[in-house]
């Protein structure tokens, strides 16, 4: 069996390994970290969706009530 072990193939193998890491970095980041950030954003939006607002035109009432 013939092996292709030489300094040039070592450099090529390391280069391909680095290229693979670079290519997989963003998908791994999304899978591991963005999920939690999106989850918190969704919770905040759900809380905001439940806020009850009442708009009063100026002159109709001296107070503006936000509920």
Q: List pLDDT tens digits, range 40-57.
A: 899 999 999 999 988 877
Please give the tally of structural domains in the chain: 1
Task: Evaluate whether 54 touches 65 at the Cβ level (below 8 Å).
Answer: yes
Structure-block tokens of residue 26: 């963003």
Which regions of the chain does DSSP assign to beta strands (E)? none
| pTM, 2 dp | 0.46
For residue 65, the enclosing domain spans 1-67
- Cα dist. 20→1, 9, 24, 29, 39 in Å? 27, 16, 6, 14, 29
pLDDT level of residue 39 (50, 70, 90 thresholds): confident
Q: What residues form DSSP beta bridges with 66?
A: 53
Across all residues in the chain, what is the average pLDDT? 84
């Amino acid at each position: 069996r013939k092996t292709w072990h030489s300094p040039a193939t070592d450099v090529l193998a390391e280069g391909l390994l680095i290229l693979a890491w670079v290519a997989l970095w963003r998908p791994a980041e999304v899978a591991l970290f963005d999920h939690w950030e999106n989850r918190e954003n969704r919770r905040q939006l759900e809380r905001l969706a439940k806020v009850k607002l009442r708009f009063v035109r100026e002159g109709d009432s001296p107070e503006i009530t936000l509920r």
